[in-house]
Chain A
Amino acid sequence: MKDRLRITDYGLPITDYRLRITFCGLLLTLLFFTAGVVVAQTGEVTDDEVNAVAKDLFCPVCESTPLDVCPTKACADWRELIRTQLAEGKTRTEIHDYFARQYGDGVLADPPKRGFSLILWALPVIGVAIGGVLFVRYVRNLRREGDVVAATAVVPANPSPASAASVPQPATPLEASGDYVSRVEEELLARK
């Protein structure tokens, strides 16, 4: 089927495979080029497009308010700047970079992963790792000691006298006292 696709249809008797590709490439490039020019000339940048870029920017004056909803005059000017840049064909990332260069990384809702702001990613990861290790070790320790206690006593976890007075301990481990529903029933009866 592919071989049937012949550019001779356009009156160009090209048979060389490579030439065909080149031709297609040229055609595509031309297409993109003209399309780009057409958009730049006639395409009006909508508020939605501006807001989509502004949403993740925060102005340094009225901090904590995203640029897309900030009512101040300065922010309105910034949005117009975004509109102009979008019309010039700049991408969202390019515009964000521009604002970060002009006003510092503090304007970005999503701080760039470089320099000092790396701690934002590093600390939680390290923290969770350390916390996790400590937690597991702590619980393991408790458990190992707990097993010893459980092995020496019939009732697991021997309560201290003080707590025995404050918390009525079940005579048997709860696990042995039937299924969940009957446990609820027992508890409720006991409370009556």
Chain B
Amino acid sequence: MIPDLGYIALGFAFGTAVYAAVAAWYGHRTDQPRWVESARNATIITLPLVALACFLLIVSLLRSDFSVEYVWRVSSRGMPDYLKVTALWGGQAGSLLFWNFLLAVFTAAAMMRNWRRQRELMAYAIMVASFTQIFFLGLSLFIENPFTRLAFVPPDGNGLNPLLRHPGMIIHPPMLYLGFVGFTIPYAFGMAALMSGKLDDTWIRLTRRWTLVAWLFLSLGLILGGRWAYDVLGWGGYWAWDPVENASFMPWLAGTAFLHSVMIQEKRDMFKMWNMSLIVLTYCLVISGTFIVRSGVISSVHSFAQSAIGPLFFGFIAIMFVFSVYWLSKRHEALKSENHLNSFLSREAAFLYNNFLILAILAVVFLFTYYPIFSELITGEKGFVGPPVYEQATGPLFGVLVLLMGVAPLTMWYRTSAQRIGMGVRWPALAALIFIGVLIVLGIRDWRALLGLWIVSFAAILTLLEFWKGTRGRMKAKGEPPWTAFATLMGRNRRRYGGYWIHMGVIVMAFGIIGMELFQEQTQIRLTVGDTLSLGRYEMQFLGATRFPGPDDLLITQATVDVYDNGRYVGQYYPRTELYTRTNQPMTIPDARSTISEDFYILMINWEPTSSDQATFRVYLNPLVNWVWAGGIIFVIGTLIAAWPDRKEELVTVSRPHQTVLAGGD
């Protein structure tokens, strides 16, 4: 009964989405605003319908209704309730439904929030957003229906994929999906601007915050995904250039380029075509990213989501791409700018270099990620590109990008003299050089590390100076005490200083990444109870292992080890292996002595038979890895500062709608 209701709700949602698209088109064509209004209401009503379908699927999961194939596939009676809820996105059909739900949320929110501002764009925005929704609802309804019944009722289900039973996995996919889905809104408004011919930067101002929010979630998804890999996958790292990771990294890159280049359009009214192309690119990468994750076309560790929906996705991407390119070329002339670049040393030029670098990284990642497909299509042999190649290719580009990130804030719009930039970078460059000198004295000799650390510390000093200059400016002008000055500085120009926060986050992460990439150490050895191993300053003694059953079908083998740092006892740690007996899937869960300077990361490897008095351990020394997480937190705070809704702006906009364009501050 409940699954049938869910089926019906999904069907109705599909109906309302189709209606919204058709009504918007018809209303716009015949110039009848009430039809467009009706279309808007239809997009809003899609939300509760999809939400109901999600809710009913969750109820089925909680009730362990194994007559539903999806419930049987991803859950089991013994699973705790919170896992039954999160099993909503634990498999193909469920995650597509969840995707639909999030898209409906974003669309409805955009309709309610932006409705009054730009009526001309709305009809088109509804059409584009609804078309995306129709595609995904269609997939949910006709191809991957989560409410499909089994012919018989099995006594128990398969249980959730063990990899997905980790707390990190509970929030990682929703964040990533939110990020993916969120980019549909700026795309819809961008296309609306193209189709309506209303090509000023209204669409950018309208969607700036949507873009930032989508980008925030995508960043969060990436960071949490890294943390999850570090905590669960048991290979001592957080990023492996896996196709699925790349699939979410690529739209993030395109979105990052977009967020930077829109500033040129807002300030200088240039690069309209470029910005349109970037949002189209981001959207296409989002859809193809979903496609990679969902179809398993490039097999990966995430291949639990495989299915045969590939061709449909491919068709959809092709349609959207051709559609976008058609409108881009149609409006090509109108998108030309009357303004010009005045100097290679200017803020707008700096943004351009930023775009060039980011797109170069994107192109490399794209080529390497899709290489297996190209290779298989052309040579018949499945090729593969491993992390070392990615690192060689993107490392230098990232280096230049961070360098630019430090220097760019010194540039000004229109033009900046070389002397001014020279004056600005002189002392920070020297200070960073002294820092490197200290590192050399301390014994670091790897030139890549030294160069990387110089760049990162140089950028760090420059970015911190930006905060200092702004704060001092306020202190002088307003006579405010430092903290008030700093806080008001943030509050008054949130976009700029939020941006610098984000830069700081990236810099802190970069320190961590350099530490991990170039100074990670590891060793693997078989120990008998009482034996010790040592790595760097650390020593570890194996005290024994026990085996006991965990919740559901879990069998845990847990080792107890004592860890000594420089001979000083620092605590007992419990690395373990988990075996889900039903699916016979093993997992290696690490434990780590975690400090600000490094992690001593311990794995008890289960790929060799372990008896109770012997075990093979693999330990890593992960220098500065916690800087990656700390940087991630700073990054997210910065994005929140930049994206937080502006009350003043809303008031101005609502009371004087015709002056919307004026309302958005920098």
Identify the B interface with A (CB < 8 A): 200-201, 234-236, 240, 242-243, 266-269, 299-301, 338-344, 349, 352, 356, 359-360, 363-364, 367-368, 371-372, 374-375, 378-379, 381-389, 393, 410, 412-417, 420, 424, 469-470, 472-474, 476-477, 489, 492-493, 522-526, 586, 588, 605-608, 616, 618, 661-662, 665
Contact = CB atoms under 8 A, between A and B. Distances in A.
14 contacts: A46-B525, A70-B607, A71-B607, A109-B387, A116-B378, A117-B375, A135-B356, A157-B340, A162-B200, A165-B662, A175-B414, A180-B424, A184-B473, A185-B474
B342 A160 contact: no
Given A51-B524, A165-B662, A184-B470, A58 B386 contact: yes
Given A63-B300, A127-B363, A105 B383 contact: yes
Contact of B235 (A66, A128, A142, A157): A66
Given A109-B389, A184-B469, 7 more contacts: A46-B524, A47-B525, A48-B524, A124-B367, A166-B200, A167-B266, A188-B474
A150 B342 contact: yes
Contacts of A56: 386, 388
A14 interface: no
B399 to A, nearest CB: 15
A58 B414 contact: no
Nearest to A47: B524
Nearest to A62: B301
A143 B342 contact: yes
B414 A156 contact: yes
B492 A191 contact: yes
Tell me if B's interface is mostly helix, strand, loop or mixed: mixed
Tell me if A's interface is mostly helix, strand, loop or mixed: helix
A166 B416 CA distance: 24
Interface residues of A, number: 70
B339 A108 contact: no
A188 B662 contact: no
A16 interface: no
A36 interface: no
Nearest to B359: A131
A167 B367 contact: no
Given A48-B523, A174-B413, A188-B489, A109 B301 contact: no
B383 A163 contact: no
Given A63-B384, A139-B352, A165-B661, A116 B492 contact: no
Closest 5 interchain pairs by CB?
A109-B386, A146-B340, A163-B269, A47-B524, A69-B235
A3 interface: no
B164 to A, nearest CB: 17
A43 interface: no
Contacts of B393: 124
A160 B339 contact: yes
A64 interface: yes
A47 B415 contact: no
A64 B586 contact: no
Contacts of B300: 63-64
